[in-house]
Structure 1
């Protein structure tokens, strides 16, 4: 057998280079290297390079000095999250996402994940933003892994056994692993709920929990969610509190709430530069207005032009809320107790947009809204340029109500007492689950009126089944409606007079939860049987502006295939959209007089909020977003509608009917010394109407061309009610 022979090797052949221990050790050393203790802002100014208008330039903190504190706080062991709210063109993504990423790669290698709003946005961010960071910053590029799979589109591996993962908000990316550093960009464009498991911030915050004080979640975005309460007013002790919103402003409110303050060059007083402090000409094109924009110090009126902005930014400082509501630096011992550091910057300070651009875009968007009633452009410039949340209040009608305005105009009169000017009382009732909501209105000459009582009725009448064991249930127990009869017997003393007034009539909403309408009809029939004819009304709201303001109509019922009128019922049909316009006008009147509606400071806060719970849109009146209760608004509409069908608008106040006469001859007035009982003789509205017959009310006064003739009614025996209308 021939012996084995090695093949002949070509000339110059050398054996392959096998891995050496020294090479493996060199590659592993960054993993165990000590942390390079250098602030993010200091490292960025020393080592970061970026592409600017085609040129590669070094990072300069002096360009965006307001980003220094937020950047440096991302390495803090005191806070576990950093939240930054600001407009576009502030440099927030470069500072908080890219600079933080590069600093981590070079100074403290550890895994991090960047989360963008969508998969496409994540790929673009990785290719452009992250790619440029690696390409133009030598300290970063030299640490990029040299292996085949170290430089993928969404995953980059670096020395020190570190990876940068660019992801998007899905459960698989937000819940799968523990990561010490989570960076979320453009947060308000992410879904509010990630796969039914919570917000992107809360899921990210949980991912870093394992690492204790070394874990950090960084979030940045311009505000993109609408204000949920247009009547929000920050309390004095929380002056930096943002309006109630979901998204990044809700995270800001959970944090230290920092705002950026300029010192005035004249008076040295600190103030927060804001778009509302910008002044510009009232006339001209949007561009002409923008060209004339300047800012005035709110303390001394010192004029600052856009060219002064960079200088003022260098001397400015962030101030956060303390535990007692004072404004302090972030390192102050009295800082608000929270593990989230938060900042909110407005567009007036932004380095890369001028005041002329801010004003031009805002005024242009306003003009477009005035022409088209489309608020998209206005919303964009407010959120993206100014860095503020969008509020529907900005596009509301000038006469639309606000809670603060109503509270400021409210008067200090006592409740459950009719003002001295009162001529008659009306009661409006709204049906809610487990209660009747009641308001009492006192009307005077020319229908000026006051809300004199607001309360809920929860207890069924004693005659109802299991009255002591349950709350009122209008949808299931017809007997519970009898509690409303007591309201018609109740006396309200008149201020400064020896009389009390008994309500003239009561109106109750009879349409809502299943079962309510049937029991409302039964209540109406019992009222007639008890002698309250003409004093009890069942109302039904009708949407649309083509409806009558208020009219009594007999409803129809179906018998087989035929519709037949139920002749024993008359429903007060209300054109709610028209009547809501009238109620807003009555509430908006600042002076006493005909039709004015007065509110007491002693009314519950809910009343003021409910009166402002709806807004007038192109589709009609609708509940504002986030609002659920509007009872006071509806009750005011019911009362005004009831006045119409009682012919209150036709009263000749020189010769009023006795139910609206002066107290000494008012049919519903009672001497206060005499106790009112259910056996007392009730006034007869049919009888008193003989003295002053009122014509049928015109539902469209502008269309009436002639005055209807008056008809004499035959005399009838006195009875409790007004009679049928």
Structure 2
């Protein structure tokens, strides 16, 4: 072959390669593209393998790639494969359609995490993406946590809290992931759905995809957006017995269809068909799920090619917006037996007044919004159930003490609660210490009080095991210094966080301590307390009427002010900078609520001790130490008040033994970290 022929062949090869990126691929739906190319990465999948769509996923995928559909809303639970579907969509629109995209996550941290754990593994493992992503595995301005630049298109990744993250973007496809976790009003510029949708308005084929698990009823962006779509679909499966198509539902004890089970035999769970009433197992469901189809209330359904059809089978117009809803039972990723066990655990915890796990079950398993049922607590009813036991003593059943301290400019307010099995609670003390937190003497006075030992009905003396002190106010650094020097005694510096869904014991952050003009860098851990979550729990527990797990006991020596402050707040819908939210606020402006706040902090102390995770065996260890059977010669109720009268100071504060003498020397630090639960295995040193 002569040189000219060789050169011509090389030129032809180079031209062909250069034009390849401009070639138009044959029409292909997203479900077809995913079947051919998509891959489940090890970092975010139970099993690393090629993609194989579940029957209910195909129509959703094809709706995402249908140019006639401008909006797809997916109202879902966990474990139904939604994240993988939007990842496949991102790959499809970058590789096959060459369209600009943007995905918004609730926060910047969520966005960065999504890139690292989902997008980058997808770009690595879906081989065809390398054809359009030359910056793969390169450090480049085209390959960052905020954007991935492909041949012919760009994928932007943004957090959703700042209004600036919705500006200066013009894209064809927008995704709002976990939409219910976004603020409802972004910096007073509008809802995240509205701001994101503005970014696709100029596109030839604009597309918005909303998805996520629902949270609070009446405040769910996903639920409202879903209900506004032109057509809403649910996945119907044929009954293995009578072939009648129906939606699978959780049901309930008062309805004949849905899931039926015995808590003592979760493996026997079956779903009862609403048509014939016959129950079928998960294995029988998986034998027929390929025959399932998405249907709307008017009978419109979606065929296996993603086309919309009327009840008689004739083609129907494609709706401009489509809503899908599905929940965990449809997915083979989790067994029905496991769902029953999760529900059982949530129901048992709800009996103690803690509805957090039941709320999680409704949101993430049933795929439904949680409806708060919070009313004002009846103060008079609480007073009537007061019991005849003396304050500053610990009744039978109370096994470990936790305290909460509220810091005011002229006083410390303190509640001490005893906790028993199942977090049953007894108020042991409510004290107001006159103080000036700007003076060292006042902190010494608080320190002496926190070392009070309380007489237990079984004859033991109990100390406070954990203390939470609020840092908000005018004396933040004084609180920091006090807590830092007593970390070995589990004295915690805390700060309330009223945001919805925050755990009672959040994550800590290191804070500088400014004392005597000197700054100690990262000197103390500041713990964040989910105050609304704690108040929900307290309210639910106050509604319990029978002693047992979660029940709150009150001494008949408490004054009316205690009850008034404990019930000073009510949950209402309130307009905030983030939009309308359900919040706890004072029933009357100016009402005092220190008892409620201190009880919230006492709950944090209990969670810091991990009492909410204690097993029966762990509670029994405490019971054997505090109230051994051979020592149980006192009544289960009151201790005579005169037993502690000598230990009460003029201002009403309980004073530890020998408080008037020299201040007690500090015990040697124990082998645990403030804020952890390393002390639990060291059972010999609990008390």
In the superposition, the TM-score normalised over structure 2's length comes to 0.48
Larger relative contact order, structure 1 or 2 (CA cutoff 8 Å, min sep 6): 2
More strand by share: 2
Larger radius of gyration: 1
In the superposition, the TM-score normalised over structure 1's length comes to 0.46
